[in-house]
Amino acid sequence: MSKVTKFLIIVIVVGAIIGGAILFIQIGSKTTNNKNETAQSNEEKTDASGKENLDSEETGPWTENKDNEGNITITKENQTLHIGDYVNYTTEKSPDTKWRVLGVENGNLLLMADENVKENNTELSVHLSGEDWGEDGQTLVEQLNESCQPYLNTSYAKSVRSIKVEDINNITGYNPLCEGVKNPTEEEISTGTKYGEGQIDEYGNKVKYTWSSDKKIISDDSEGYGKFIQQKSDFYKFLMPPDNKELDDKGITVESTYYYYYPYTLSTDKSTSGNVVGIERTSPACKMIFENSNNVGEGYWLASPCVRAYTGIVSWQMYVVANNYLVYQYGSCVSSWGVVGASNGIRPVVSLKSNITLTKDTTQKSEDGAEFYTIEN
């Protein structure tokens, strides 16, 4: 099932009424831990492009370069590729699927399927459930990566995985620490606007949740968020993956890593008029990521978990590409009412072997301007 609007939702009601118990929320600083500190924390896990560090692997021959406007070129010796170029990689499972240049990881050329892959000529639909969230959502990430394994052609590729939100952010130039700015500098981040700035679910904001005996959920932050009071006597149980334990007396602190955006504005503004900040809707990169081979918007899973911490509720979610040209997310566990299951398509990403060479095919032409390349052993 390729459309987010057609998600199959299975709700398992959890929790029991806890007499007189409710949730007290104390907001940490308005992420007065400044933006550069948040960015530095994220960089410990990823490199400058937002991809996972893979220093332990053998480095390949490809290099990814960005100009001052954020345009990406991929080079090896005297050969130059662009995001969205076609490469004639094939698999038995989905022989009609075309593959396009996504980027470089650890010096190896990455290709992604330009549509949700098929199995026996039928689009493969992968079901994920919040019951399997595991440690920080990594069990669901592993499920997506495992679902991509049949699309590994070992004659040409060394590995395969699911596409991640970091892959897309690298191409669009989006950074949740500075919305509406492509590949922002440290100075721009320090003065820019975070996703959700001034709201409880502001990117990087830390929210502490503890039980209170009154029948209100109170979020009170002296740093500027204001006070929120809600009657919530039906708030039964606080669901905390992976063991579904109730919140203890000490409470927990949850950091919000949730955001969504449109690839041309790099913000929540979906307007297509005015100057394009991110990538053009007609560009090979945008068509590769947000459309299928028939030039129709298509939704699929991204192997990237996130958490949204806001008034009275925490939601553990997986990022998705929505079929309306949107990087979004779908809840797997919601603290106020339980776990959720959904089905969606997948887009595998393969890492080509370092000894693979490519030859430009001048006999083919793409409507979006992408070029075609043939694999040579």
Tens digits of per-residue pLDDT, 190-241? Answer: 999 999 998 888 999 887 766 554 433 344 333 333 333 333 333 334 444 4
**Span of 75-84, 127-136, 245-254, 262-271 with lowest mean pLDDT:** 245-254
Q: What is the identity of the amino acid at 269? A: D
Helix (H) or strand (E) holding 360: strand 357-360
Residues 338 and 14: beta-carbon distance below 8 Å:
yes
Residue among 123, 130, 117, 124 nearest 9 (CA): 130
Under the banding of pLDDT at 50, 70 and 90, the label for residue 60 is: confident
What confidence category does residue 275 fall into, taking pLDDT thresholds of 50, 70 and 90?
A: confident
Under the banding of pLDDT at 50, 70 and 90, the label for residue 336 is: low
φ and ψ at residue 223, rounded to 5 degrees: -85, 0
Query: How much is the average pLDDT of 339-366?
Result: 93
According to the model, what pLDDT value does residue 58 have? 65
**pTM score, whole prediction:** 0.79
The pLDDT assigned to 11 comes to: 30
pLDDT for residue 257 is more than 90: yes
**Closest listed residue to residue 268, CA positions, set 226, 221, 322, 307:** 322
Phi-psi bin for 134: left (phi > 0), alpha (psi -120 to 50), beta?
left
The band of 86, judged by pLDDT with boundaries at 50, 70 and 90, is very high
Higher per-residue confidence, 346 vs 20: 346
Averaged over 311-338, what is the pLDDT? 84
Query: Across all residues in the chain, what is the average pLDDT?
Result: 78
Q: Which residues have C-beta within 8 Å of that of residue 330, sequence separation ≥ 6?
A: 4, 7, 317, 318, 320, 340, 342, 344
- Band the pLDDT of 263: cuts 50, 70, 90: very high
Residue 71, pLDDT above cutoff 50: yes
Domain boundaries, the chain: 4-376
| pLDDT tens per residue, range 112-124 | 999 999 988 888 9
Which residues face 27 on adjacent strands? 207
Looking at residue 326, its pLDDT comes to 95
Tokens of 17: 């009424």
At residue 12, the pLDDT reads 29
What are the two backbone dihedrals, phi and then psi, of residue 106, each rounded to the nearest 5 degrees? 55, 35
Residue 209 CA to residue 270 CA, distance in Å, equals 33
Write the pLDDT tens digit of every residue in 31-56: 333 444 443 433 333 333 334 433 34
By mean pLDDT, which of 19-33, 300-314, 327-341 is the weakest?
19-33
The lowest-confidence range among 167-171, 291-295, 304-308 is 291-295
pLDDT on residue 31: 34
Average pLDDT over residues 168-195: 97
Q: What percent of the chain has pLDDT over 70?
A: 71
